[in-house]
């Protein structure tokens, strides 16, 4: 009798057979979902390496806690070239999330829109970072869809009523496409939209008043389009707004004072436009970040602009602002850029005391006078101190040597005199030291040789004597 006829061996084979297939027995997915997932898997072979009999165990597939239905499918980042598989996904009638971002899909088949539109619980569709072209499809159904992300594609044309049927839409992201014409105003009949991201397209015309009816908006990003005319004067109606980004357009007129009323607004950016007039008083009352750089704003900086304690970032550079620097500064200020204006008066000596988070201070290209306050030495986080192109006079405070994180010290084109303090040699991170075009005298301190990271040293246009220490010339 050969050993293969041994009854106990056959028994073992049967046990092994059962063991190998037991995951199938344990799979709780209804037969029709397992079949739909197998159909999808077959279509995606070999790009998607799905294997095993329990689809809930496949990479990118998520099921409910009882594994009785598929809730999410993520096929992100596989460079899938064809969207033929998309209608198959719609057979999963329990689907809530579909992420097909980061592939090479160039179209959305009609079958997808008609079939997936019937899925009652589908909340999120992510088509971002593909090669989708043509106009936006018209969405029918999709009654639960809350988030539609079609950013980073090459779609174009005007947007009219295509998404107005999405009655649950809370987040629309069409950033980085080629859409043109007026900004869309039909963004879901039931007006529950919260996030509207339309940056980096070619939208033109004005910001329509109709947008202000979406009172639940918390995030608006219209950066880098061709929008013109003024911001709607009653934008303050959007009382839940937290982020408003309007940079790099052709917007003009004044910054509306109604923005001051939005107590939730944390970030307002409107740089690179053509805004004129003065900065409304109280604009930073609730903000953490304000960017109005590269406009044509004039008048003085409001006295209270820098003082609100939550304020972290202010950029008003490249405008036509005049008058003195505000004297009170938020203790949490991280970045302050006021360069290329017509600001005058002194740098207030007490304003920056204890502003321990201040990392970037740029007051260059103004008409500031007086001396560099020694108190700046207490801003121990400073990485960049740029006071170049002013009319500052007096000596370089030795306390600058306390700024151990300093990487850039730009003081060129001032009237600074006296000698270069030896403490400058205590700045271990200094990369750029520009003291050129001043009236500094005496000899170049040998301690400069301690600046191990120094890449750029500009001392020309002074009355310095001696030589540049040897290690720096190697
Ligand atoms: C799939 O099966 C479930 C019950 O297990 C049923 O409710 C559902 O209608 C079926 N779906 C289809 C498309 O047949
Ligand atoms: C799976 O594919 C087969 C063959 O195309 C089809 O007959 C069947 O209806 C599909 N099943 C599901 C659940 O989609
Ligand atoms: C559901 O599937 C996941 C993934 O395969 C698994 O970790 C989990 O144990 C399963 N839960 C149930 C209740 O079967
Ligand atoms: C869509 O996918 C991209 C890339 O994977 C991701 O960065 C983005 O957050 C996703 N969008 C949504 C709304 O989840
Ligand atoms: C699109 O916007 C949504 C909502 O703000 C965001 O969650 C998502 O990450 C954005 N998509 C990408 C690719 O950044
Ligand atoms: C705004 O959100 C609230 C709470 O989520 C909701 O009740 C309301 O219907 C939404 N829509 C409008 C237009 O306020
Ligand atoms: C800036 O505004 C002033 C008036 O305040 C005007 O004379 C000037 O031409 C404007 N400059 C630009 C570049 O628009
Ligand atoms: C400074 O920054 C740190 C970390 O970013 C933060 O925890 C702290 O509250 C900020 N403010 C001050 C005054 O240090
Ligand atoms: C700052 O620098 C001055 C002069 O170099 C020195 O006397 C003082 O102790 C320093 N302060 C701190 C806090 O390091
Ligand atoms: C530096 O210039 C100021 C006037 O701006 C003058 O009072 C002072 O004596 C000068 N100091 C030196 C060392 O030349
Ligand atoms: C330093 O100042 C000179 C003017 O004297 C200017 O030409 C140069 O670009 C400046 N370099 C840096 C890195 O700031
Ligand atoms: C330059 O320094 C020398 C001494 O080193 C001094 O005699 C001369 O007057 C100074 N020139 C100017 C313009 O300050």
Distance (angstroms) between ligand 5 centre and the Cα of 174 equals 9
CB 245 within 8 A of CB 220: yes
Q: Is residue 21 domain-resident?
A: no
Answer yes or no: is 155 within a domain.
Answer: yes
The answer, yes or no, to whether any atom of ligand 7 lies below 6 A from the CB of 276, is: yes
Q: Which ligand is nearest to the CA of 77?
A: 4
| Per-residue pLDDT tens over the stretch 303-333 | 999 999 999 999 999 999 999 999 999 999 9
Residue 179 lies in a domain: yes
Q: Which ligand is nearest to the CA of 52?
A: 3
- pLDDT value of residue 290: 98
In a domain? residue 110: yes
Residues with CB under 6 A from ligand 1: 30, 32, 93
- 60 is in which domain, residue-wise? 27-198
Radius of gyration of the chain (CA): 31
Q: Which ligand neighbours the alpha carbon of 433 most closely?
A: 11
- Is residue 170 within 6 Å of ligand 11 at its C-beta? no
Q: Which atom of ligand 7 is nearest to the CA of 274?
A: 14
**Strand 70-74, strand 61-63: pairing:** antiparallel
What value does the mean pLDDT take over residues 382-407?
A: 97
Pocket test for ligand 10, best of 417, 420, 438, 439 (most atoms within 8 A of CB): 417
pLDDT, one tens digit per residue, over 117-126 is 999 999 999 9
Q: Please state which of the ranges 48-52, 237-241, 243-247, 390-394 shows the lowest mean pLDDT.
A: 48-52
- Determine the pLDDT at residue 23: 45
Q: For 359-383, what is the mean pLDDT?
A: 97
d(CA 129, CA 76): 9
Position 72 in a domain:
yes
Indicate if ligand 10 lies below 6 Å from the C-beta of 299.
no
In a domain? residue 7: no
pLDDT surpasses 80 at 342: yes
pTM for the whole structure: 0.90
Q: In the chain, how many domains are there?
A: 1
Question: Per the domain annotation, does 89 fall within a domain?
Answer: yes
Q: CATH number of the domain that 170 lies in?
A: 3.80.10.10
Position 380 in a domain: no
Determine the average pLDDT of the residues in 391-399.
96
**At 203, is the pLDDT very low, low, confident or very high (cuts 50, 70, 90)?**
very high
């Amino acid at each position: 009798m050969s050993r293969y006829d041994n009854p106990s061996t056959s028994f073992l084979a049967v046990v092994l057979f059962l063991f190998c297939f037991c995951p199938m027995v344990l799979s709780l997915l209804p037969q029709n979902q397992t079949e739909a997932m197998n159909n999808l898997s077959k279509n995606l072979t070999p790009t998607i390496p799905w294997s095993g009999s329990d689809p809930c165990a496949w990479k990118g597939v998520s099921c409910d806690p009882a594994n009785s239905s598929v809730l999410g499918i993520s096929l992100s980042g596989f460079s899938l070239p064809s969207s033929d598989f998309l209608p198959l996904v719609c057979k999963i009638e329990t689907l809530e999330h579909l992420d097909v971002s980061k592939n090479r899909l160039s179209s959305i088949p009609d079958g997808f829109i008609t079939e997936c539109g019937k899925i009652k619980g589908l909340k999120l569709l992510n088509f971002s970072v593909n090669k989708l072209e043509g106009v936006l499809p018209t969405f029918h159904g999709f009654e639960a869809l809350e988030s539609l992300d079609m950013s980073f594609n090459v779609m174009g044309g005007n947007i009219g009523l295509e998404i107005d049927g999405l009655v649950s839409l809370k987040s629309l992201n069409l950033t980085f496409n080629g859409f043109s014409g007026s900004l869309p105003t039909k963004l879901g009949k039931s007006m529950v939209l919260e996030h509207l991201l339309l940056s980096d397209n070619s939208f033109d015309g004005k910001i329509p008043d109709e947008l202000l009816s979406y009172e639940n908006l918390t995030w608006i990003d219209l950066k880098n389009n061709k929008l013109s005319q003024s911001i709607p004067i009653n934008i303050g109606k959007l009382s839940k707004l937290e982020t408003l980004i309007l940079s790099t357009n052709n917007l003009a007129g004044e910054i509306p004072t109604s923005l001051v009323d939005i107590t939730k607004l944390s970030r307002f950016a409107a740089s690179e436009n053509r805004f004129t007039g003065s900065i409304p008083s109280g604009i930073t009352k609730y903000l953490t970040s304000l960017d109005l750089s590269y406009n044509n704003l004039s008048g003085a900086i409001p006295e209270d602009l820098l003082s609100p304690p939550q304020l972290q970032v202010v950029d008003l550079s490249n405008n036509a602002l005049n008058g003195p620097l505000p004297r009170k500064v938020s203790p949490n200020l991280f970045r302050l850029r006021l360069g290329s204006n017509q600001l005058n008066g002194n740098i207030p000596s007490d304003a920056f005391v204890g502003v321990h988070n201040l990392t970037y201070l740029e007051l260059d290209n103004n008409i500031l006078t007086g001396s560099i306050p020694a108190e700046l030495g207490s801003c121990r986080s400073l990485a960049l101190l740029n006071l170049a192109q002013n009319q500052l006079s007096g000596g370089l405070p030795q306390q600058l040597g306390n700024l151990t994180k300093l990487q850039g010290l730009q003081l060129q084109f001032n009237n600074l005199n006296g000698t270069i303090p030896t403490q400058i040699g205590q700045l271990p991170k200094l990369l750029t030291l520009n003291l050129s075009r001043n009236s500094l005298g005496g000899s170049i301190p040998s301690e400069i040789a301690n600046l191990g990271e120094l890449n750029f040293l500009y001392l020309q246009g002074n009355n310095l004597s001696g030589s540049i220490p040897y290690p720096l010339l190697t």
